[in-house]
A and B are shown apart, each in its own frame.
Chain A
Amino acid sequence: MLELRNVDTYYGTIQALHDVSLTIGKGEIVTLIGANGAGKSTTLMTICGINRPRHGEILLEGKPIHRLTSDAVVRHGIIQVPEGRLIFPDMTVQENLDLGAFLRKDAVGIQTDLDYVFSLFPILAERRRQLGGTLSGGEQQMLAISRALMARPRILLLDEPSLGLAPIIISQIFSIIRKVNEDGVTVFLVEQNANQALRIADRGYVMENGRVVMADTAQKLLESQQVRKAYLGM
């Protein structure tokens, strides 16, 4: 469904991505694991049109999208939940969700999706008049995912949704990610928490220093000596 072919991305003169190629199939959960600074977030920002690849191409269902502006990428149904959640702190939960549906005009569909995210995260329904900045870290992550779902994504890109959260919240978030995937959304999950990520993913890629160094099914990666040593601490 989404394919990166030989993508190089630079920040000024510094090359952050080297010849990155990966594919995400329809309905899959694909994970990208790697250490800090490996280029995982840059990969997502390049897909979303925030950073431009200098070489290579990004194809959505065979059509190039790497020259599109970020709003056009969103229009194609590719939505990112960025690292650090980036909630609008001075806006209410409801307003944050409204902005998720910024490009949509189907009032009925928006209401359906609002009910859907409130069924996933009932706590947000309780807090809908509260300012985003007053939520706890876990609630903010829930809001960030919900806000992205309000755009009715075809592909959901998640950047370290487990970052800084308590284990019980992490497993809750991961079970929601799996549920969202079962409801028909393709998921591309970037994580440092390789164990959790590989457990829910179909396939995985391992990134080091801006290059994809391994690609396999999630099961195989979980069993691989190299991954176990470097990312699972075993």
Chain B
Amino acid sequence: MEQLLYFFELFFGGLTRGSIYALIALGYTLVYGIIELINFAHGEIYMLGAFTAMVVAGVLGVYGLPSAAILIIAALCAVVWVGAYGFTIEKIAYKPLRGAPRLSPLISAIGMSIFLQNYVILAQTSDFVSFPQLLPELPFLEKIGSIMGESDFIILVTSTATMIALTLFIRYSKTGKAMRATAQNRTMALLLGIDANKIISMTFIIGSALAAIGGVLIAAHMGQINFAIGFLAGMKAFTAAVLGGIGSVPGAMVGGLVLGLCESFTTGYFSGDYEDVLSFGILVLILVLRPDGILGKAKVQKV
């Protein structure tokens, strides 16, 4: 019984962690699907989401609103603000390089990542700052409190709802269809009157908004953030995206969850020290053995 409970605790812990990875991984995969760029500044977008929410929550805290309301408003502000960052980053760092060799936008992405980290150090601080305790108490979780806490529950529900909304959007909305069309064949999309620039901007905004949600959730869960949290989370999410098959939206979700579960079980049954070793070991193995990932399609080079 004890062991079973422990297993479930690790299981839900893994899902929580994995759903955050999935939210960030979606940003990598959406952008890659459309312009075949690994947006290495994406982890910083997640970090900016956490900081934005912290600042907004700090201001709102003065007015004595209920904490759940503060969390929701802060999260919405983070989504909008960081979406604007995503839009701007694409215009500044990637759009001018669209015809350039593939290495150039990649270097530009790394540059943007370093810039954003240092910008946050200068604008905020390089130390850890505490994120206010905003998660509401959920009495109905008391019975299962040992295997799933409030933050786990809220992260799971929010990220699941977000991913369902994204899936429906991509599948049924006009913009979603245009995004898929642009990803499958940009020239043809142009010939049908789809404004590819608008679709690319839209992709960056959506990806950034998802990362912001992840950032706010994790900040509320951990209670402290600093400028560097985006780097590791970004690398992990990138691993998740590759694991699921980069360019595939369900792949990013599956990859995130699988990676989260693997990490959680490794930490729980072996040692927490090997968590990162495992993640990046998986990345190396996937790249060597199955570069198309779990759900990715092997690209057949037609001659």
Contacts and interface: CB of A to CB of B under 8 A. Distances in A.
Interface string A6-18: 0000000000000
Contact of B178 (A48, A50, A90, A102): A102
Interface residues of A, number: 25
A184 interface: no
B194 A99 contact: yes
Contacts of A69: 195
A48 B191 contact: yes
B174 interface: yes
B193 A71 contact: yes
A95 B170 CA distance: 12
Interface in A77-119: 79-80, 82, 86, 88-91, 95, 98-100, 102-103
A98 B181 CA distance: 11
A11 to B, nearest CB: 12
Interface string A41-85: 000000011100000000000000000011101110001101000
Contacts of A212: none
A90 B180 contact: yes
Contacts of A89: 184
Contacts of A91: 177, 180-181, 184
Contact of A100 (B180, B185, B187, B192): B192
A48 to B, nearest CB: 6
B68 interface: no
Contacts of B180: 88, 90-91, 95
B278 to A, nearest CB: 33
The dominant DSSP class at the B interface is helix
B92 interface: no
A40 interface: no
Contacts of A86: 185, 187-188, 191
Contacts of A102: 174, 177-178, 192-194
Interface string A191-208: 000000000000000000
A147 interface: yes
Given A88-B180, A91-B177, A74 B192 contact: yes
A102 B190 CA distance: 11
Interface in B175-208: 177-178, 180-181, 184-185, 187-195
A10 B174 CA distance: 34
B181 A99 contact: yes
Contacts of A173: none
B235 to A, nearest CB: 29
A151 interface: yes
Chain B interface size range: 10 to 19
A73 B193 CA distance: 8
Given A91-B177, A99-B181, A102-B174, A50 B187 contact: yes
A50 B181 contact: no
B195 A71 contact: yes
Interface string B37-72: 000000000000000000000000000000000000
Interface string A111-147: 0000000000000000000000000000000000001
B195 A151 contact: no
Contacts of A48: 190-191
Nearest to A72: B193
Nearest to B171: A95
B194 A88 contact: no
Contacts of B178: 99, 102
Contacts of B191: 48, 50, 70, 74, 79-80, 82, 86
A73 B191 CA distance: 9
A79 B192 CA distance: 7
A157 to B, nearest CB: 9
Contacts of B177: 91, 95, 98-99, 102
B171 to A, nearest CB: 9
Contacts of B185: 86, 88
Contacts of B181: 88, 91, 99
B187 A71 contact: no
Interface of A: 48-50, 69-71, 73-75, 79-80, 82, 86, 88-91, 95, 98-100, 102-103, 147, 151
11 contacts: A50-B187, A73-B193, A74-B193, A79-B191, A82-B188, A88-B180, A89-B184, A90-B180, A99-B178, A102-B177, A102-B193
Interface of B: 174, 177-178, 180-181, 184-185, 187-195
Given A50-B187, A88-B184, 8 more contacts: A69-B195, A70-B191, A74-B191, A79-B191, A88-B188, A91-B184, A95-B180, A99-B181
